[in-house]
Amino acid sequence: MHHFHLLKTTKVAKETNDSVNIAFEIPPALKQEFSFKQGQYLNVRFLAGDEDLRRSYSIVNAPSEENGELEILVKHLEDGRVSTILNQQLAAGEKIEVSAPAGHFYTNHHVSNEKTYVGLAAGSGISPVLSNLKEALYQEPKSEAYLFYSNKSLHDIIFKDEIDALLERFDGRLKVVYLLSREKHFEDELFEGRICAPKLDELLDRFTDIPVREATYFICGPSEMIKSVSGYLKNEKKVPSLQILYEYYAAPDDEENAEMSDEFKAIPNLESMVTLIIDDDEYSFHLNSKKNSILDQALNEKLPVPFACKGGVCCTCKAQVMEGEVFMEKNFALTEDEVERGFVLTCQCHPTTNVVMLNYDV
Ligand code: FES
């Protein structure tokens, strides 16, 4: 479960004009709860009057790094209330509410592996991708990594200094190609624009020397980039699904009004008794299938349910169906295997049977 703890910030440093790098001090009593895997995220919470504002931010570090700190990168969004507080008001030494690391955007490593990892990142999507590439390079001395990273301009490249230092440290085992979407590259157009399927085809052809099918890919960026490159890798290059890992920054724009989808309209209109198991306690309420999502209704009932994005992206609201059936509108976070095992994102779920029981404790 996602319990929040007040953590002291040890660093709040401008990384680029519109992003900050925030480090937290983890007290000894929370060390185990805050141990993390590469590519995981933290949820941050602010209470503003009656409002409970929560956002997810990816961890930047790799577990094997020496400094042992826990850092996140927060990009300032124009209308983002939490990102504005974190970028413009927070100072080092202040405490904020943070929940333990979560997420499954990672693979396991072994010292004897001799693999190739390819990171595809856009803007602040660099955080979980870099965390994964670093961990692979630390854990697997015979593996190599490529990073194809797109930004608007040279000044917008996040973690440029760190990436340069990593290039030196892993001498030859890490290769990095930057792409800039708003700057002209007079010698080669390949380095202009965003990462998309045709560009990836050329990048892989020109910069890597292993069969495309054999690498493992970490992708984080806007939805059109993820759809384009993951579709290309899977359908055209026949890369096995387990080797294509991706994480969305936010719900894809074209999915925003998904509650009006034909599938949602087709679910039966019924009254359901919904029971939720949260921290070994059971809570029940009535819910009409066409009204609120199960998460929204649980929040209306003031139940201690975990959540962050409410958009089907972060996976914080995950629960397992123990009884009955639900309709899940969107899912950008659960794997096929998790869905088969009955896991759902409760921010996207509506009951479709008269009795539904979901367990958040699994
Ligand atoms: S709250 Fe983020 S997926 Fe449901």
* Domain ranges within the chain, ordered by starting residue: 4-99, 116-250, 259-359
Quote the ligand 1 centre to 132 CA distance (angstroms).
22
Confidence of residue 259 (pLDDT cuts 50, 70, 90): low
| pLDDT for 170 | 95
* End-to-end CA, the chain: 9
pLDDT at residue 156 in the model: 94
Mean pLDDT of all residues in 49-55: 89
Class of CATH domain 4-99: mainly beta
Secondary structure of residue 357 in the 3-state scheme: strand
Q: Return the pLDDT at 128.
A: 97
pLDDT of residue 209: 87
Cα-based distances in Å from 347 to 229, 265, 294, 296: 27, 17, 6, 7
Q: What is the mean pLDDT of residues 135-161?
A: 96
Q: Is the pLDDT assigned to residue 231 strictly greater than 80?
A: yes
Average pLDDT, the chain: 93
Give residue 253's pLDDT. Answer: 56
250 band by pLDDT with thresholds 50, 70 and 90: low
Looking at residue 110, the DSSP 8-state letter turns out to be -
Specify the 3-state DSSP secondary structure of 305. Answer: coil
Specify the long-range contacts of residues 254-262, CB closer than 8 Å, at least 24 apart: 254/223, 255/223, 255/312, 255/330, 258/329, 258/330, 259/329, 261/329
Ligand 1 geometric centre to CA of 168 (Å)? 38
Three-class SS of residue 275?
strand
Ligand 1 centroid from CA 42, angstroms: 13
Mean pLDDT score, 90-103: 96
Residue-level pLDDT at 336: 84
CATH superfamily of 259-359: Beta-grasp domain (3.10.20.30)
* 8 A C-beta contact, residue 215 and residue 239: yes
Strand 174-180 relative to strand 51-58: parallel, antiparallel, unpaired?
unpaired
The C-alpha atoms of residue 274 and residue 157 are separated, in whole angstroms, by 47
Instruction: Give the SS3 label for residue 304.
Output: coil
Of 174-188, 247-261, 311-325, the poorest mean pLDDT is in 247-261
| Ligand 1 proximal residues by C-beta, below 6 Å | 307-310, 312-317, 333, 345, 347
CATH architecture under which domain 116-250 falls = 3-Layer(aba) Sandwich (3.40)
Please give the structure tokens belonging to residue 299.
Answer: 């929040």
Measured from the CA of 307, which atom of ligand 1 is nearest? 1
CA of 27 to the centre of ligand 1 (A): 28
With 60 as the cut, is the pLDDT of residue 257 above it? Answer: no
**DSSP for 63-105, written as a single string:** TT-TT--EEEEEE--TT-HHHHIIIII--TT-EEEEE--B---
Nearest atom, ligand 1, residue 345 CA = 4
Rounded Cα–Cα distance for residues 149 and 177 (Å) = 6
**269-303 per-position pLDDT tens digit:** 999 999 999 999 999 999 999 999 999 999 999 99
- pLDDT at res. 356: 97
Question: What is the structure's pLDDT at 48?
Answer: 85
How many other C-beta atoms can be found within 10 angstroms of the C-beta atom of residue 295? 23
- Reported confidence tier of residue 252, pLDDT bands at 50, 70, 90: low
**Which residues are bridge partners to 323 per DSSP?**
357
Model pLDDT, residue 251: 62
